[in-house]
Amino acid sequence: MSLQAMDEDYAEHAGRRISEIMDIKKYHELGYKGKGIKIAILDSGLGPDYLQALKKNAVRWDSDERKKITARAKEVGKKVYCDERGLIVDFTKEDSTTDALEIDEDDDYAVDQNGHGTFVTGLIGSVNPDCPGIAPETEIYILKLFNDEEMTYSAWFLDAFNFVLDNGIDIVNLSTASKDSKDNPFIEKIEELTAAGVIVVSAIGNDGPTQGTSESPADLHTVIGVGSLSYNFDRVATFSSRGMSKKSMLVSVGVPKPDVLLPGEEILGLGLEPGVCRLNRGTSFSVPMLTGSIALVLSAIEEERGIEYRK
């Protein structure tokens, strides 16, 4: 499993904000900003300054809600920071057994060292007008699955997936991809998520333009696989993977992937430094565009028709 970002120093064109690419203003003006929708971002964490802001505003819940929301984290030996918009869990830490809401400003808990998770999170929830997010009122759950060396393990993902199931997450954002299409425990847990009604959105990979390069779990038929469009939206981005789904080809006929193509070149989003926007490209960053868009739609349905209709 790897993060699906391209070389950040490469850029042929000027960067563009999400608000310039997608007509989100009209939805925001109607009050649809993702309120009430829970999104889990399984990635490399969040920039230290953004994390400290969340930690300083953490809520010391004593209610049943706190017990419920931290139950899974404590079970697997994790601490969790909660605030009014979501929470933070670092699944790469094996010794995080202190009080779930103990605040330590010098802690490196869930800190994003490479900027990938911060950028992905910002495309969904940023309130910075220079690089705004699509759904800034969503409840965002930062689940760190990649350590400082960008390494991860299936076991960490399985713990995170169980956490998703236990905490009523609506959408899982996976700006990641794996060439291993035979990791059965991982795949079975993904299928358990989708069977439970969780929407899973995943990057198809950056190994294009050759056919047969689609990666897991985006090539599963139960997962929305997202690829990238070129800067002018007139073709598939050269780097975007594509082809028939490998898993289904083993038992029947392959399904063409990706399912959706969205902009993925020269996107402006949050950098690690507060208030600074940076350029990025890759299928990783097409994924949160769809995740945020789904959140807008779900929040609009919930507001107009009620939560039961939305479910």
Question: Which tens digit of pLDDT belongs to each residue from 149-163?
Answer: 889 999 999 999 999
Among candidate residues 201, 91, 248, the one with its CA nearest the CA of residue 154: 91
Of the listed ranges 11-15, 58-62, 159-163, the least confidently predicted one is: 58-62
Q: Dig out the tokens for 43 from the structure.
A: 């990635």
Which residue, 187, 188, 104, 174, is CA-closest to 145?
Answer: 174
pLDDT given for residue 194 in this prediction:
97
- Per the model's pLDDT, the better-predicted residue between 204 and 307 turns out to be 204
Contact predicate 275/129, CB 8 Å = no
Q: In angstroms, rounded to a whole number, what is the distance separating the alpha carbons of residues 253 and 260?
A: 20
Q: How confident is the model at residue 170 (pLDDT cuts 50, 70, 90)?
A: very high
| pLDDT of residue 280 exceeding 60 | yes
Task: Give the position of tokens 């950040």.
Answer: 8
Reported confidence tier of residue 100, pLDDT bands at 50, 70, 90: very low
Amino acid 262: pLDDT:
96
- Which pLDDT value is given to residue 23? 84
Q: In the 8-state DSSP scheme, what is residue 37?
A: -
Q: Which of 44-58, 146-160, 167-181 has the lowest mean pLDDT?
A: 44-58
Burial of residue 266, with CB atoms counted within 10 A of its CB: 0-12 exposed, 13-18 middle, 19 or more buried: middle
Q: Quick one: average pLDDT of 196-215?
A: 93
% pLDDT > 70, the chain: 74
Q: Would the pLDDT of 196 be above 90?
A: yes
Position 58 pLDDT exceeds 50: no
Residue among 53, 58, 38 nearest 99 (CA): 58
Q: How crowded is residue 23: how many other Cβ atoms within 10 Å of its Cβ?
A: 8
- CB environment 49-60: b (16+ within 10 A), e (fewer): ebbbebbeebee
What is the per-residue pLDDT across 230-273, written as a single tens digit (0 to 9) for each? 998 999 999 999 988 776 666 666 788 999 999 999 899 999 98
Rounded to whole angstroms, how far apart are CA atoms 242 and 259? 10
The pairing of beta strand 86-90 with beta strand 80-83: antiparallel
Single-letter code of the amino acid located at 196: A
